[in-house]
Amino acid sequence: MLDLIHRAEAESISLSALAASLASRHAAPAAPIIPLHPVEVWACGCTYETSASFRDAEHGTREGMYAYVYRNDRPEIFFKGTARVCVGPGQPIGLRADAKFTAPEPELAVILGSRGAILGYTLANDVSAWDIERENPLYLPQSKVYSACCALGPVIVTADDLADPYKLEMTCTVTRNGAATFEGSVSTSRLHRKLETLVAYLLRANPVPAASVLLTGTGIIVTEAAALAPGDTVSIRIPEIGELSNRAVVVD
């Protein structure tokens, strides 16, 4: 996919047109794999009101720094990692051994081309050790960046095949021993910022390379009562993109 992105840009052709010209005409069943080994992964926070208010409540303030970021023009953007920390559909997501409250963060992910062009979309799980961030916001990198902390998939839907990214219904289900421990949903219509705005802030003095991914924030909050345990399965779904399902395991 990285090669396709670079070739499409070099030949000034859309990614979907290039893929269609190279695709086999003979369909064959295949299990989905990670659709892209991203050069870089960046992520946004406090882009949904539910996320901002939950984080401030965790820190004991009615309206604190997370609400400020939600209201302010400048979004929260942080480095999530590279392909090294990413997994695809069916592969394990990581739980840190030094964390007690790890939660999935279901998100719409944007696939970027050169100069921030939005090439397509996929699903993402921004797995986060929330108790580490709760202890001190300066611990955010340790909460967010570690082995198998980012799941992507199941496919990339190109921008010209997804009519309106702000009319998508996302669901998340966590199951344990066959029973649901958490179910939640959100519409991307609740996204507080335009995707182009998030990309524009990402690129300020920071020209990220083509084939990078931007996670656009979560509007589904998994509470501590449903904290992930080894063996839990997280399933994230948007009908227009598919389902991303991963089992949680402890990582060193």
Is residue 79 scored above 90 in pLDDT? yes
In a domain, 78, yes or no: yes
Residue closest to 15 by CA, chosen among 196, 136, 156: 156
How do residues 91-127 score in pLDDT, each as one tens digit? Answer: 999 999 999 999 999 999 999 999 999 999 999 999 9
Confidence of residue 219 (pLDDT cuts 50, 70, 90): very high
- The predicted pLDDT at position 49 comes to 85
* Structural domain includes residue 6: no
The 10s digit of each residue's pLDDT in 30-68 is 899 999 999 999 999 999 987 656 665 655 555 588 888
User: Residue 247 is encoded by which pair of tokens?
Assistant: 């089992």
Number of domains in the chain: 1
In a domain, 18, yes or no: no
Dist CA 64 CA 53 (whole Å)? 9
Domain of residue 220, residue span = 33-251
Q: Is 97 exposed, middle or buried (0-12, 13-18, 19+ CB in 10 A)?
A: exposed
Residue at 157 is within a domain? yes
Q: Is residue 61 assigned to a domain?
A: yes
pLDDT number for residue 59: 57
pLDDT tens per residue across span 177-198: 999 999 999 999 999 999 999 9
Q: CATH code at 62? A: 3.90.850.10
User: Does pLDDT of 13 surpass 80?
Assistant: yes
pLDDT of residue 189: 97
Residue 4 lies in a domain: no
Q: Of the given ranges (5-19, 46-60, 216-230), which has the lowest mean pLDDT?
A: 46-60
Q: What pLDDT was estimated at residue 52?
A: 54
